[in-house]
Structure 1
Amino acid sequence: MIRQIIAVTTLAMLLSGTAMAREITHALGVSDVPDNPQRIVVLTNEGTEALLAVGITPVGAVKSWLGNPWYDHIAADMADVTVLGEESAVNLEVLVSLEPDLILGTKQRHEAIYEQLSAIAPTVISERLRGDWKVNMALYTDAAGKGEEGKAALDAFDVRVGALSSALGASLEEEISIARFMAAQTRIMFKDSFSGLILSQLGFHRPAAQDKDEFAEEITKERIPEFEGDRLIYFTYETGNGEADAVASDWLADPLWQNLAVVKAGKVHEVSDAIWNTAGGYIAANLMLDDIETIYGLDSTR
């Protein structure tokens, strides 16, 4: 059934004379994309934020990892957007029905369905997720015909980071520790993560156990001392059944956690998993900077 739908959609595109004006090189090849695409679908959470940041509302998008179906911080802008399943389970039949003229995805999630996507519409694929949100935003916005706007937004973010870094001053000497609680595991987060990359750009240090150019590692309670730092930030990936919150409560009550010097000093902060990790895009990045301003008492003029 899906092959028949794709064939009909492809024929309709050919008959309509859709203009393929530009070549975009991406992780899985080179795609001819319309000069001014009007019906864009996006298959990553970070890609959704990249489009919204330059004034584009996609006709379809994969649902947010948290929220019903969107993160709270983008819900108002996504009210009329069609849900296309999840990043790791795209609903191709619904996607086809939207008759897109551009599809944005990522190799990390969509390499296996790239040929199917390309048969539906020109498809541009980023290499990976995690710490690459800036690189990916530049690719997505360029493919969408908003490359200059994307560059301007990223430049504005870098300017804001520079200003915040200056305002933080000596606070940047602090070693920031990051923990993530989930229903089935607890992770210690490293530098090749969304929050890790932004903390590095600001100029913060990380504890020796977390000063790694990697994403994250699952740990057991015996390794709680590795969360020691001058300041400890944690977030919980809670999908609504209470299991992740229960894990977090259990770890926070553990004697090893309670014995951390940073805990005794009262420098532990709970933040949003959506903002600090899961959304992984431009809007969340700015909201993360808001959180840092609040944590360090620099938000009085915001």
Structure 2
Amino acid sequence: MKVFLKVLGALPLVAMLAGGAALARDVTGSMGTVSVPDQPKRVVVLTNEGTEALLALGVTPVGAVNSWNGSPWWDHISDAMEGAEPVGKESAVNLEMVAALEPDLILANKQRHEKIHSQLSAIAPTVMSKELRGDWKINFRLYAEALGKDTEANEAISAYDDAVASLRDKLGSSLDEEVSVIRFVPGQIRIYQLDSFSGVLLKDIGFKRPANQNVEEFAIRTGKESIPQMDGDRIFYFTYDTGDGKGRSLEDEVLADPLWQSLSAVKAGKLHKVSDAIWNTAGGIIAARLMLDDIAGIYGVK
């Protein structure tokens, strides 16, 4: 706590000179316009998708929130995060640890961190994205602007768009399938719609969706009684487990249910369990590229 108070007490010095970077640019995020260092050297990022954005832009943060189910990072980013310090979960940031890292820039998210915005801003210039769902490119471009990495961001997005176009061509008539996306979480089943991480990518590729999923919403939150509404020509599903086994228990229960077994996709053998991290929870550009790889593998078009 002494470190935290010391940093707050030195606010003018920290805000203006941390890491030797002078404030040189204004960036407008969800909580207003912030003056940020021209070339930030010590960046702390407080969302999983933000962590992926930094890595894709060639920046290793000095601190980042733990991956939701990582120890402390997702397997697919673990090697790249060497030297980064974990600072708690997205929903429970350790402010003392953030302050101790003496960042010159903090990247956060209004949906997660609005209540601690003033504390974060007292530590370092803080740029906040707005939401954590849907099109990852929106937050990616904001983080890139804050880092002074607009050119690199444009290149990364162009490479993603090229990969999408290539996969779309390879899939051909397979895109006529209506694909359903289902997630099992403790106490709840979600039927994902277009304004979700996987929904945006599937739309980018050109897949059709069942009518109840082909709407610009996030997800239908429901239970086993809605199993008939989860069908499609093909079903992708993933499970989030908090460590107590309840998510996987629900998955097992639903997959054994006669209603689930009666779904046309299940009977046709077009049921695919995929990674919750890649298809939903990580939520960033690295996961997006890995999801494209998953789809190519499932359809045999690699």
Is the pair's TM-score, using the shorter chain for normalization, greater than 0.5?
yes
Identity of aligned residues (%): 57
Matches within 5 A, 1:151-166: 151-166=154-169
Cα pair 1:44 1:87 within 8 Å, conserved: yes
Query: 1:74 — aligned with what?
Result: 77
- Spell out, residue by residue over 1:71-127, the C-alpha distance to the aligned partner (whole angstroms, 9 max, x if none): 110011113211111111111000000000000011111111111111111111111
Matches within 5 A, 1:142-181: 142-181=145-184
Residues 1:246 and 2:249 are matched in the alignment: yes
Range 274-283 or range 147-156, more displaced: 147-156
Range 275-284 or range 143-152, more displaced: 143-152
Residues 1:206 and 2:226 are matched in the alignment: no
Tell me by how many angstroms 1:5 deviates.
Answer: 3.3
CA distance in 1, matches of 2:221, 2:210: 17
Residues 1:263 and 2:272 are matched in the alignment: no
- What secondary structure, in the 3-state scheme, does the structure 1 residue paired with 2:212 have? helix
Letter in 1 for 2:31: L
Number of residue pairs the alignment of both structures matches: 299
- What secondary structure, in the 3-state scheme, does the structure 2 residue paired with 1:208 have? coil
Cα pair 2:14 2:104 within 8 Å, conserved: no
Cα pair 2:21 2:39 within 8 Å, conserved: no
CA distance in 1, matches of 2:275, 2:53: 20
CA distance in 1, matches of 2:215, 2:121: 36
CA distance in 1, matches of 2:215, 2:188: 20
Cα pair 1:189 1:217 within 8 Å, conserved: yes
Structure 1: where are the runs of 5+ without partners? none
Query: 2:195 — aligned with what?
Result: 192
- Spell out, residue by residue over 1:266-295, the C-alpha distance to the aligned partner (whole angstroms, 9 max, x if none): 000000000000000010000000000011
Query: 1:7 — aligned with what?
Result: 9
Cα pair 2:44 2:62 within 8 Å, conserved: yes
Cα pair 1:10 1:121 within 8 Å, conserved: no
Cα pair 1:191 1:213 within 8 Å, conserved: yes
- Spell out, residue by residue over 1:200-254, the C-alpha distance to the aligned partner (whole angstroms, 9 max, x if none): 0111111012112111122121110111111000001123332211110000000
Letter in 2 for 1:287: L
Tell me by how many angstroms 1:8 deviates.
Answer: 2.3
Letter in 2 for 1:280: G
- What secondary structure, in the 3-state scheme, does the structure 2 residue paired with 1:205 have? coil
CA distance in 2, matches of 1:51, 1:15: 22
Tell me by how many angstroms 1:19 deviates.
Answer: 0.8
Letter in 2 for 1:60: G
Query: 1:215 — aligned with what?
Result: 218
TM-score by length of structure 2 reads: 0.96
Cα pair 2:129 2:139 within 8 Å, conserved: yes
**RMSD of the alignment, in Å?**
1.4
Cα pair 1:225 1:257 within 8 Å, conserved: yes
- Closer/same/farther in 2, CA of residues 14 and 194 from structure 1, 3 Å limit: closer
